[in-house]
Homo-oligomer: A and B are copies of this chain.
């Protein structure tokens, strides 16, 4: 089957570039002491998670309990849920799953730690715990190092759970386009994190794991020898139009194949919109099937259409490869990723955790 024979819009992956991105990340982390724990929220495809593990990843990160279950039941043996799970029925299920693999969850409150402990004791399992520390993103996590110490001591004292270390995610630095500014922002977060590390050392609280980082900060984290023990990058395998601006060593491998459905001077309309392209970050851009960037005077994303302004040289029926604005929210809109090499479709991977937001 040819790439040109897929119905549009379809989500497609350049198999060669994907493999190259896997290797680039392995090389980047080699000898740094930072292990890779790729984020599943970016691909939601258990076959890709297995490729990442084969390529040297230590385990997987995910955002949701249902994603963790999808990974575990596909045979992944080491999973981190990089979020707080507070609902009782979810905690009971999580404690069960902890009997099937090495499962770690984040927490930022004493009540939550106590409930995690009770559920794990009842299930007869061990839940690993990272306490989340807020290092500048302004979202979940503890902001006071003394509170962190108290929670770490509580976690260490409770049965059924095991305090492993720190979740510290500087997501606010990930998309800063200027490399110097991004570094400065990451260093500021690192300063906050190092303050906590010092305090924990003073209290003789052992920290085995410090997990965080993203594709956007992967170059920075890989140079922080002795700080982060795990990198949670997700998008590096695919990239997108937002990350493309950052000058990272990864290549765009994920596209949505789309067809021109209407055309007049100055306007080209494609058959994919916000239902086929994640709309929560930058706007997409388009390539010809041969990979040449299509020049426009701007684009507009509607619900069912992508409008390209200017003289694109495209005609009705032509196909383009759209680079999505955000790979993670785009993948979540499709049931399958078609893998292509050259002009051939060579595989079809199920997005097994598509829509798993519970």
**A267 interface residue per 8 A CB criterion:** yes
Shortest Cβ distance from residue A29 to the other chain B in the assembled complex, whole angstroms: 24
How many copies of this chain does the complex contain? 2
Point out the residues of chain B lying under 8 angstroms from A64, CB to CB. Answer: 304
Point out the residues of chain B lying under 8 angstroms from A333, CB to CB. Answer: 332-333, 355, 357
Count class of interface residues, chain A = 35 or more
**A141 interface residue per 8 A CB criterion:** yes
Point out the residues of chain B lying under 8 angstroms from A140, CB to CB. Answer: 261-262, 269, 305
**A46 interface residue per 8 A CB criterion:** no
Query: Which segment of A148-156, A275-283, A288-296 sits at the interface?
Result: A275-283
Shortest Cβ distance from residue A85 to the other chain B in the assembled complex, whole angstroms: 8
- How distant is the Cα of A111 from the Cα of B111 in the complex, in angstroms? 67
**A8 interface residue per 8 A CB criterion:** yes
Contact indicator B269/A274 (Cβ below 8 Å)? no
**A195 interface residue per 8 A CB criterion:** no
**A112 interface residue per 8 A CB criterion:** yes
**A165 interface residue per 8 A CB criterion:** no
Which of A87, A262, A328 has the most CB atoms of chain B within a 10 A radius of its CB? A262
- How distant is the Cα of A41 from the Cα of B109 in the complex, in angstroms? 42
Given A8-B358, A264-B143, residue A301 in contact with residue B280 (CB < 8 A) = yes
Contact indicator B261/A84 (Cβ below 8 Å)? yes
Contact with B along A1-32 (1 / 0, CB 8 A): 00000011110000000000000000000000
Contact indicator B316/A269 (Cβ below 8 Å)? no
**A344 interface residue per 8 A CB criterion:** no
**A272 interface residue per 8 A CB criterion:** yes
Contact indicator A262/B108 (Cβ below 8 Å)? yes
Contact with B along A138-168 (1 / 0, CB 8 A): 1111010000000000000000000000000
**A187 interface residue per 8 A CB criterion:** no
Point out the residues of chain B lying under 8 angstroms from A139, CB to CB. Answer: 262, 267, 269, 302, 305, 307
Contact indicator B86/A316 (Cβ below 8 Å)? yes
- How distant is the Cα of A138 from the Cα of B83 in the complex, in angstroms? 43
Point out the residues of chain B lying under 8 angstroms from A326, CB to CB. Answer: 303
Point out the residues of chain B lying under 8 angstroms from A276, CB to CB. Answer: 357
Contact indicator A87/B278 (Cβ below 8 Å)? no
Instruction: Find A262's partner among B84, B267, B280 (CB 8 Å cutoff).
Output: B84
Given A138-B267, A139-B305, 7 new contacts (CB under 8 A):
A83-B261, A139-B269, A140-B262, A274-B279, A275-B329, A303-B326, A354-B355
- Per CB-CB distance, the 8 closest pairs between chain A and chain B, nearest first, are A279-B280, A140-B262, A274-B280, A7-B358, A84-B261, A63-B304, A276-B357, A279-B279
